[in-house]
């Protein structure tokens, strides 16, 4: 019984860590998009900064169990 709970908990922690990694990559790509659009087309993406700020908070909460 306890072994099954441990396996489920380990799976959940690993899944949340993978989700945190995906959010980090998505934030990086969003910032690169924002910089490119601002530099080449003079069209800044105003939503990228706010989404990345919230993503950093969520990433912290998702990956906190891995430590």
State the pLDDT confidence band at 65, using cuts at 50, 70 and 90: confident
Q: Is the pLDDT of residue 67 over 60?
A: no
pLDDT of 12-34, one tens digit each?
Answer: 999 999 999 999 999 999 999 99
Sign of CA dihedral 10, 13, 16, 18: negative
Question: Could you give the angle at the alpha carbon of 48 between the alpha carbons of 43 and 52, nearest 5°?
Answer: 160
Phi, psi of 44 (to 5 degrees): -70, 145
Model-level pTM?
0.83
């Amino acid at each position: 019984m306890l072994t099954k709970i441990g396996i489920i908990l380990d799976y959940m922690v690993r899944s949340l860590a993978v989700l945190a990694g995906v959010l980090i990559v998505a934030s990086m790509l969003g910032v690169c998009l924002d910089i490119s659009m601002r530099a080449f087309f003079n069209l800044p993406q105003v939503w990228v900064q706010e989404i990345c700020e919230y993503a950093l908070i969520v990433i912290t909460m998702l990956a906190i169990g891995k430590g």
